[in-house]
């Protein structure tokens, strides 16, 4: 496939993503992205998103096939050996920062191979166009393989989550991430937001 064709496909993908309803941008890393292996990483990612779906929607995640709407992208870094994942999604909680902290805290505790809080970057999206450009910037090399279709979901309506913001959901959140974990995740978020606002450089998420 030629460069011009991939350039056009990426432009169309960016337009599509900007038309979607989302306000959270995240980067999920592994303890060692160079040794995790694509197959092992994908298994961890699938189980993580399944867990997040259950935290937000409870048994309805399986019974009604409700999932957090999300678009996930694989990146391999400049040397093609540092596997990590970027995602965008609409917050399923009224407090978007709390959603970011929950996503990070659950990922950190999910497996021995997942990265610590300060290595993942999950925050409210401030510049949607810049985020879209960033999550697709390896399309020129990876093509459509950068889109993790098996992890993406776009069939849950944007107002569905409102039905599930009740006491049982709060209890599920506390079981998945204790107040201490969420507090530590909030501290990491505050630090990362300050770094980003000072420099406005999404590349920090690769290096951090």
Per-residue pLDDT of 56-94, as tens digits, reads: 999 989 888 899 999 999 987 655 567 889 999 999 999
Per-residue model confidence (pLDDT) at position 120: 96
Stated pTM of the model: 0.90
**Residue 76 Cα distances to 117, 130, 176, 184, angstroms:** 20, 19, 29, 28
DSSP single-letter state for residue 120? S
Residue 42 has pLDDT above 80, yes or no: yes
Given pLDDT bands bounded at 50, 70 and 90, which one contains residue 50? very high
Among residues 128, 104, 160, the alpha carbon closest in space to that of 23 is found at 128
Q: Which of 27-36, 65-74, 85-94, 96-105 has the lowest mean pLDDT?
A: 27-36
- What's the distance, Cα to Cα, between the start and end of the chain in Å? 33
**Residue 23 Cα distances to 20, 80, 105, 124, angstroms:** 10, 28, 19, 6
């Amino acid at each position: 496939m030629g460069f011009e064709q991939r350039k056009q496909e990426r432009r169309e993908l960016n337009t599509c993503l900007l038309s979607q309803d989302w306000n959270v941008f995240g980067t999920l890393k592994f303890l060692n992205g160079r040794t995790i292996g694509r197959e092992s990483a994908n298994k961890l990612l699938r189980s993580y998103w399944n867990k997040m779906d259950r935290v937000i929607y409870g048994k309805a995640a399986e019974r009604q096939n409700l999932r957090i709407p999300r678009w996930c992208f694989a990146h391999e870094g400049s040397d093609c050996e540092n596997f990590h994942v970027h995602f965008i999604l609409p917050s399923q909680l009224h407090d978007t920062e709390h959603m970011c902290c929950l996503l990070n805290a659950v990922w950190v505790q999910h497996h021995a191979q997942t990265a610590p809080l300060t290595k993942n970057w999950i925050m409210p999206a401030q510049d949607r166009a810049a985020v879209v450009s960033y999550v697709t910037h390896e399309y020129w090399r990876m093509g459509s393989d950068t889109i993790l279709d098996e992890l993406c979901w776009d069939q849950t309506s944007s107002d569905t989550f409102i039905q599930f913001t009740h006491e049982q959901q709060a209890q599920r959140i506390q079981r998945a991430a204790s107040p201490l974990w969420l507090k530590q995740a909030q501290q990491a978020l505050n630090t990362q937001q300050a770094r980003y606002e000072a420099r406005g450089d999404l590349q920090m998420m690769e290096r951090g």
